Chain A
Amino acid sequence: MDLISESGSVILTSFGLTLRLAVFSGIFSLLLGVVLATFRVSPVPVLRWIGTAVVYTFRNTPLTLVMFFALFGLSYQLGFSFDKDLLYRNNFWLAVLALSVYTSTFVCEVLRSGINTVPLGQAEAARAIGLTFTQNLRLIVLPQALRSVINPLASVLIAMTKNTTVAVTIGVTTATMVNEASGQMKSLMERNSDQILLIFIIFAVGFMILTLPIGFIAGWAAKRFAVIR
């Protein structure tokens, strides 16, 4: 158990960083996902094309490549930077950007399938009383769609939390140079080759602690907010 006493606080710090990655990416991917879904069902053809193109491109590209491109393409080659002075801050937000854009395409598709579960009559009634497309979507369809996709949405968020490990491609660290979970696990395994199983179990349990609550909360919320039809 030397490992715990030596590296316990580092492991906690690294999971703190992973958690921050997950929370920010979660918020931005949900927002961007709603925008993309709105584009994809909108009456304006150009917006539909844009939505479809974005979703098709990013769903079929590996996240590792998106992360790679964010750091080496966007930041190094094109000179785009979130923070010119603090490298660790720039890398953190690049990872959030990559993860948010990638995840938002999955959020978009889940929302779209949720829109399909709203009975036809709801939207027809909304149109009959003269609501516009945005009013229809905002007041009638999306609230019901969101409530019916809580479980699949939670699956997407769980996958996203696990996907924060891919941020090791960018090399996301805290100000004190602690890596996010996968980078930290790698460096611990390199330094303690006799305790690899123990290190793996610690990080595996760490991710279960991060992801299990999402599943439980979603299960509860799905029942609590279920649309009774």
Chain B
Amino acid sequence: MSASVLYDAPGPRGKALNWLYSAIALAILAWVAWIVYSKFDETGQWEADKWTPFLKSETWENFLIPGLKGTLSAFAVGAVLALAFGFVFAVGRLSQSRFISIPSAVVVEFFRSIPMLLLMMFIYFMQQPLGLETNVFWAVVLGLMLYNGSVLAEVIRAGVGALPKGQAEAGVAIGLSPGQVMRTILLPQAVRSMLPAIIAQLVVLLKDTALGFILAYSELLNQIPKIDGNFDNLIPAAIVVALIYIALNTILGLVANFVEARTRRVGHTAGPVGHVAADPVAEAADLVQKGHAAGSAGGGGGGGAA
């Protein structure tokens, strides 16, 4: 059902009313914008020297690019590790041996149910007692891996669950071992159908790298106080950083849309193509609940941790 069936095509009176409501909404919007504008003006946020630093290459070279590098390297390593973790535990949880499936389920449900920030802090503080040098990069990356990997494991598992039963049965019928069925028949199709949901989870992972700010990992968000220290422009810096995040996520979203359209067109999977959900994780969790009502404790799930 699309939104448009909620109301009739407006007649003359409806059109007039819509214009009226639009005008009222615009007036309120203008009023809010005016409040923001005058507050910014009062505190001198519009002064040119607060914004011009972002037009200089030094600001980008010294602050934003290094921050972007920190964010993207945590994202890249975290994404690769989370995908590997997700595959291992999805397969583990689907294993026919209970000695593998139950521990895998426990691990996945545990890491899904606790806040990622606590995981990162734990890994951060645990390094020293273990005789390792405290490394904030690995604390952030391993935290990202454990949480997002667990969510990805559930997404992949849901993808396998959504495949028609005949796929696995046909594999067994031609004499493949359970491992071969999983590796050569189920996983390739599940990944294809779940690719949009997997990419959507990577958007969550990208946003979650910002948690590194709390552990003083040098990522994008951590550059705001530094830029502010140099140019006394905290709000402009925060707005620029927010725009960078929005741009990065938009790019990933476009990739997800492209992949979804392509999978729909080309096929190559017996499963339903996971559309790019309005709320990917909640929807993935929902899918998991539908597909595997028995396995899901309902304790985990949930959208982006940050």
Contact = CB atoms under 8 A, between A and B. Distances in A.
Interface string A143-179: 0000000011111101110111110110000000000
Contacts of B289: 151
A65 B237 CA distance: 11
16 contacts: A45-B18, A47-B22, A50-B25, A60-B249, A61-B246, A62-B209, A65-B221, A109-B282, A133-B6, A133-B7, A152-B283, A155-B281, A165-B118, A168-B117, A196-B126, A216-B298
A14 B68 CA distance: 34
A43 B10 contact: yes
Contacts of A162: 114-116, 302, 305
Contacts of B203: 60
A29 B154 CA distance: 26
A125 to B, nearest CB: 11
Nearest to A39: B25
A217 B278 CA distance: 24
Nearest to A105: B279
A189 B121 contact: yes
Given A113-B277, A208-B113, A61 B1 contact: no
B29 interface: yes
Nearest to A140: B6
Contacts of B277: 113
B235 interface: yes
Interface string B289-306: 100000001111111111
A90 interface: no
Interface stretch (B38-46, B83-91, B173-181, B261-269): B38-46
Interface string B196-234: 000000010001111101100000010010000000001
B125 interface: yes
B68 to A, nearest CB: 14
A228 interface: no
Interface string B19-54: 001100110010000000001101101000000000
A163 B298 contact: no
B5 interface: yes
Contacts of A46: 21-22, 25-26, 29
Q: Which 4 pairs across A and B sit closest by C-beta, in order of nearness? A: A159-B302, A215-B298, A62-B210, A155-B301
B60 interface: no
B38 to A, nearest CB: 10
Given A61-B245, A154-B298, A208-B114, A115 B306 contact: no
Given A64-B210, A73-B235, A189 B299 contact: no
Contact of A119 (B1, B116, B282): B1
Nearest to A215: B298
Given A163-B306, A193-B125, A207-B115, 10 more contacts: A60-B245, A64-B210, A77-B234, A78-B40, A110-B279, A136-B7, A151-B289, A152-B286, A158-B302, A197-B126
A50 to B, nearest CB: 7
Contacts of B110: 204
A64 B25 contact: no
A123 B5 contact: yes
Contacts of B136: none
A81 interface: no
Given A118-B1, A193-B125, A194-B129, A79 B43 contact: yes
Interface in A100-125: 106, 109-110, 112-113, 115-120, 123-124
B282 A156 contact: yes
B259 interface: no
A1 interface: no
A49 B256 CA distance: 23
B235 A113 contact: no
Contacts of B281: 155, 159
B1 A116 contact: yes
Given A120-B1, A189-B121, A159 B304 contact: yes
A186 B118 CA distance: 8
Interface string A29-70: 000000000001101111100100000110011111100110
A137 interface: yes
Contacts of B208: 62
A68 B220 CA distance: 13
A72 interface: yes
A203 interface: yes
A44 B18 contact: yes
Contacts of A218: 298
